[in-house]
């Protein structure tokens, strides 16, 4: 196998991929279905049974675990982690009756910003923005925006602390044991610097 071939995307024979816009090194597993209008970046891992419908491009190095549906109007930036069976939505007023179905133009965009992680079986109500490097706890039900680096837990999800880029929780003075230090900005945090060089 040439180096070039090795860098291509891997598509499991039982996956259904209707687009050719899949980045190098991305893997798509069995029973996943990626629709024609979709674009997926490089180095992603698209788990078994994942359904991708969104017209927004999916960024690089994203991990989408088994059973997740990335509906139209869901936007995933780079290096986003979507845990197994996490659930997105795109219509806050869902009705099946043909008289009351809302056109897609009225659906709300959900935005998952760079580095964010959504825990297993979490639910994201449409219209929310999940901030950079935030962490939505397993089973949480997010009904509003989450700030950068904020940890949210529960139903409905509420802020419960802060997390570092590396994923660890921050101390009260907003330092991480990996050496990164933060300061408050807006409803979340921003990186201020690093104490040591040897952390990842």
Burial 167-188 (b: 16+ CB within 10 A, else e): eeebeeebebebbbbbeeeeeb
**Residues 27, 16: Cα–Cα separation, whole Å:** 12
Mark the segment that binds a copy of itself (CB under 8 A) among 2-10, 144-152, 164-172, 182-190.
Answer: 164-172
Residue 97 or residue 186: which is nearer to a copy of itself going by CB? 97
Number of residues that bind a copy of itself (CB under 8 A): 56
Tell me which residues in 167-186 interact with a copy of itself (CB under 8 A).
167-168
Q: Is 41 in the site for a copy of itself (CB under 8 A)?
A: no
Q: Is 95 in the site for a copy of itself (CB under 8 A)?
A: yes
Q: Which helix (H) or strand (E) holds 184?
A: strand 180-185
First to last CA, the chain: 32
Edge-to-edge strand ranges of the sheet holding 141-142: 87-88, 123-124, 141-142
- How far lies 49's CA from each of 53, 87, 106, 148, 200, in Å? 13, 13, 28, 29, 32
Q: Is 18 in the site for a copy of itself (CB under 8 A)?
A: no
Among 66, 72, 158, 174, binds a copy of itself (CB under 8 A): 66
Q: Is 166 in the site for a copy of itself (CB under 8 A)?
A: yes
Chain residues in the site for a copy of itself (CB under 8 A):
14, 16, 30-31, 33, 43, 48-49, 51, 61-63, 65-67, 69, 71, 79-81, 83-85, 87-89, 93-100, 115, 117, 119-121, 123, 125, 137-141, 143, 153-156, 165-168, 200
């Amino acid at each position: 196998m040439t180096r070039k071939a090795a860098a291509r995307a891997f598509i499991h024979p039982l996956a259904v991929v209707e687009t050719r816009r899949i980045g190098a090194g991305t893997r798509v597993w069995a029973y996943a279905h990626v629709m024609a209008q979709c674009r997926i970046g490089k180095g992603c891992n698209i788990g078994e049974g994942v359904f991708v419908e969104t017209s927004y491009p999916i960024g690089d190095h994203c991990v989408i675990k088994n059973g997740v549906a990335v509906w139209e109007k869901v936007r995933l930036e780079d290096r986003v982690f979507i845990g197994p069976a996490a659930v997105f939505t795109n219509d806050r007023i869902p009705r099946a009756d043909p008289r009351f179905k809302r056109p897609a133009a009225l659906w709300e965009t959900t935005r998952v910003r760079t580095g964010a992680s959504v825990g297993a079986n979490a639910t994201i109500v449409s219209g929310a923005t999940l901030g950079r490097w935030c962490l939505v706890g397993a089973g949480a039900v997010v009904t509003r925006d989450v700030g950068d680096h904020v940890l949210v837990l529960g139903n409905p999800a509420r802020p419960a602390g802060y997390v570092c880029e590396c994923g660890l929780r921050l101390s009260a003075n907003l330092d991480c044991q990996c050496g990164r230090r933060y300061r408050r900005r807006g409803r979340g945090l921003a990186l201020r610097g690093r104490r040591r060089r040897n952390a990842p």
